[in-house]
Amino acid sequence: MNTIVIATQNEGKIQAVRDSLQTYGPQYGWNDDFTLIGVESESGISVTPSSDEEGLLGCENRIAFAREQQPGAFAYIALEGIMAQARNRSYIRGWTMIDHPGSGRTVSASGASVEVPAYIAELAAGDQELSYIVQAHYPLDEPLKSTLRNVGANGAFTTGEYGRHDSFFDGVRICLALLANSSNWRT
């Protein structure tokens, strides 16, 4: 049985990784006989990263921390949500990074970007976690409010159509495909 360490204890993120690995792992040569271990990890970046660069650095830091906490795993996975600007608008997306020590390869991918309402983006300009801002200032119906930690801000903005689970599910799927494609690893 392979041990895969996820550098988070957020159940929504862990479930997204589990679902993606079960759905796409066998197709890309990762058997479905694995144990997931979630570990609390430090990103070393701001609470709401504001660029792809910062999000990827957070993933790298989380993987390094997870490797120290759980050495010898089959793979390490880090997930980091960011809010970045483009064309005077703000967008959130989730970065996924998979480190596969057996192959010596590390890959990363992001899920889809979701536009952030302008008034929420203005409130999020400081170093406060976006989900807390959404909880306090965005009109949420009760089902979304009670699951915001799992569906994420992107889930709130899309009324649950594309949430945290979807973003990280997609990120893991893309990373698995990148790792499996031998054309990506020519020397």
First-to-last C-alpha distance (Å) of the chain: 31
> Which token pair is 31?
């058997």
Encode pLDDT of 131-184 as tens digits.
888 888 888 877 767 777 777 899 899 988 999 899 999 999 999 999 999 999
pLDDT of residue 23: 92
Strand partners, 94: 81
pLDDT of residue 124: 86
Could you give phi then psi for residue 34, rounded to 5 degrees? Answer: -140, 160
Rounded Cα–Cα distance for residues 111 and 152 (Å): 13
Burial of 58 by CB count in 10 Å (0-12 exposed, 13-18 middle, 19+ buried)?
A: buried
User: Degrees (nearest 5) of the Cα angle 28, 31, 34?
Assistant: 130
Indicate the range of 28-32, 83-87, 131-135 predicted with least confidence. Answer: 28-32
Residue 11 has pLDDT above 90, yes or no: no
User: Degrees (nearest 5) of the Cα angle 93, 162, 57?
Assistant: 20
Structure pTM? 0.93
The mean of the pLDDT values for the chain is 91
pLDDT of residue 113: 95
Q: Do 79 and 174 touch, CB atoms closer than 8 A?
A: no
Could you give phi then psi for residue 54, rounded to 5 degrees? Answer: -65, -40
Residues 6+ apart with CB under 8 A from 27: 176
For domain 2-111+168-185, the question of CATH label 3.40.50.300 is answered with: no
Q: Where are the domains of the chain?
A: 2-111+168-185
Torsion of CA 96, 154, 112, 172, to 10 degrees: 30
Q: Do 25 and 2 touch, CB atoms closer than 8 A?
A: no
Q: SS3 of 3, please? A: strand
